[in-house]
Every structure is written in structure tokens, then in C-alpha cells.
Amino acid sequence: MPSYSERAKLCTNPTAKKLLDLMDDKQTNLSIAADVITKAELLKIANTVGPEICLLKTHIDIVEDFDTDLVIQLQRLAEKHNFLLFEDRKFADIGNTVKHQYQDGIYHIADWADIVNCHTVPGPGIIQGLKEIGLSKGRALLLLAEMTPKGNLAKGAYTEESLKMAQDNKDFVIGFITTRQLIDEPCFINMTPGVQLAVGGDNLGQQYNTPENVIGKQKSDIIIVGRGIYESADMAAEAKKYREAGWLAYQARMSKS
Ligand code: S5P
């Protein structure tokens, strides 16, 4: 298996290159899902776990006191700790509508989020619409090819069609939200949520797998961890544990191939 930075050399999308390079430089394949509802909490997470992560994943629309200063401060922390910003917006509408959702409104997501994601249920027009805004800004898109909750419908032909859409848009689509590596192509980055240190779930259908399984067995590239880290009394220590588990699993996979 090529290293993250070897893969970076093959990619044309600047955000994919930057992410893969920084993962090897910083030795982390951990992303935090910072699902908190105040600006102060979000900035605290970003600053506390910033040294451990490659990517900060936000749900910016749940922050009750959102303002443009939040974005400025997140960008400063991203610079300081060397991580990228991923707004988990899960766009799901027709191309023309998602263009506005990406660029306009209160959040102006395209102005600050290095990476966004979308569902593929509307077909390739959604990718085209987002690309019209994001490509010239050097941004990148992930497709939700699979999901983690019990009973979700993103499987089989849906997942296969999503892969095709990614292959048709390699300049802008840099990978997937998925539980596993779906296709062995070096420029597609596989990111997996639903990760905790023990297998389990929550009472709303979420299903958890471990960093070892996700990176080692399922051959994903990035673990996305939310409550497992930010609900811990010592976020920094907990983030270190996940970082170490994810990195050891990556090194073990590298040494096998
Ligand atoms: O299928 C998915 C896709 C995503 S992006 N399942 C998920 O859980 N997510 C996101 O990952 C979800 O929106 C949340 O932000 C994070 C998981 O959080 P946790 O607290 O369960 O680790």
C-alpha cells in the first residue's frame, strides 16, 4: 500500500494533496467531529485537539451563536495546528439549489470549508453544481457512498453508482464517506465515521467500529470521531489515544504490503 504522501503526488486536486501530505507530516489520520452548539465549545475543541488531527469536521448550522468571527478563528486555529476544515453539510438537492447553499446564505461555506460532502441521491447534477462554485477555489468534495446507521439505504447499486459519479469527477471529488475502502484508487480518500475505541452504538441507530478495524481491516484512510472524544473529561488525552490507534493501524497496514 502506498503511503499517504506517495498518494498525494498522484492527485490533481490541491486539497487532496494538502490533506494527504499533512497526514504523513503530522502523523495523524484522525478527524474530530465537533458536534457542539456554541462557538466557545467549538473553538475549545479545535484548540485542544488541533495538535492531534488532520481534519476538523463541523456542523456549522448547529452553532447557536454563529458569526463570521467563528470562521476567522477556526481558520486561524487550522493554520496554527495544521489541519483542514470539513463542513459536513451533506448537500442533497438539485445542482442549482446546492450552489446557493454552498456559496450564499449566512454561512458562505465555500469561502472557508476546504472540504464539503453531498448525497448522491439527486444524481450527478449535484456534483456539477457544487463544482461550479468550489473547483476554482481549490476546494474538494466527498460523496456519501455509504452511511453508518442501522437500516440506512446507501448500499448496493446506490454505492456502485456513487463510485461511478466520483470517477467521472476526479478533479473535484476526492473521496468518500464510507465504512471501508470501496475502490483501490490512490486519489480517493476514504473517511469513516462511527468510530469509538470499542464496538457498539447509540440509541438512535449509530454503529461504532474500532480504529484498528476501520483502518486495518476495512482499509479506510481517516477515522472520524465525535462523542468518543468530545464527551471525554480529558479531550486532549482521549484524542491522543485515537490518534495513536489510527496511526498504528496505518503503519501495520503499510508494513504488510
Ligand atoms: O454515515 C455517517 C456519515 C456521517 S458524516 N454517519 C455519521 O455518523 N456521520 C457523522 O459523523 C455524523 O454527522 C457525526 O457528526 C459524526 C459521528 O459522530 P459520533 O459522535 O457518533 O462519533
Residue 66 has pLDDT above 90, yes or no: yes
Give ligand 1 pocket residues (Cβ under 6 A): 33, 35, 88, 147-148, 177, 193-194, 206, 224-228
Closest protein CA for atom 13 of ligand 1? 88
- What's the pLDDT score for residue 1? 85
Residues 123-172 have pLDDT tens digits of 999 999 999 999 999 999 999 999 999 999 999 999 999 999 999 999 99
In a mutational test of the pocket of ligand 1, which residue from 30, 31, 32, 35 has the highest number of ligand atoms less than 8 Å from its CB? 35
Q: pLDDT per residue over 214-226, tens digit each?
A: 999 999 999 999 9
196, 197, 206: which to mutate for ligand 1, most atoms within 8 A of CB?
206
Cα-based distances in Å from 56 to 27, 45, 125, 185, 232: 15, 9, 27, 24, 17
DSSP per residue, 158-222: HHHHHHHHHHTTTTTEEEEE-SS--S--TTPEEEE--B-SSSEE-TTS-EEB-HIIIIIIS--SE
Residue nearest to atom 15 of ligand 1 (CA): 33
Q: Which of 39, 44, 90, 137 is labelled catalytic? A: 90
* Ligand 1 center from residue 121 Cα (angstroms): 19
Question: How far does residue 252's CA lie from ligand 1's centre (Å)?
Answer: 26
User: Domains in the chain, ordered, with CATH?
Assistant: 4-256 (3.20.20.70)
Residue 256 is predicted with a pLDDT of: 87
Indicate which residue's Cα is closest to atom 1 of ligand 1.
147
Joined together, the cell numbers standing for residue 108 give: 458562505
Phi first, then psi, for residue 52 (nearest 5°) are -100, -10
Percent share of the chain, pLDDT over 70: 100
Judge whether residue 257 has pLDDT over 80.
Answer: no
The pLDDT, as a whole number, for residue 128 is 98
Q: What is the pLDDT of residue 150?
A: 98
| 90 catalytic per annotation | yes
Question: For residue 171, how many other CB atoms are within 10 A of its CB?
Answer: 14
Centre of ligand 1 from the C-alpha of residue 224, in Å: 7
| Residue 32 contacts residue 230 (beta carbons within 8 Å) | yes
Give the residues across from 85 on adjacent strands. 56
Ligand 1 atom at minimal distance to the Cα of residue 208: 21
Query: How many beta carbons lie within 10 A of that of residue 164, not counting itself?
Result: 11
Q: pTM of the prediction?
A: 0.98
- Ligand 1 atom closest to Cα of residue 147: 1
Q: Pick from 181, 176, 185: which is nearest to 215 by CA?
A: 181
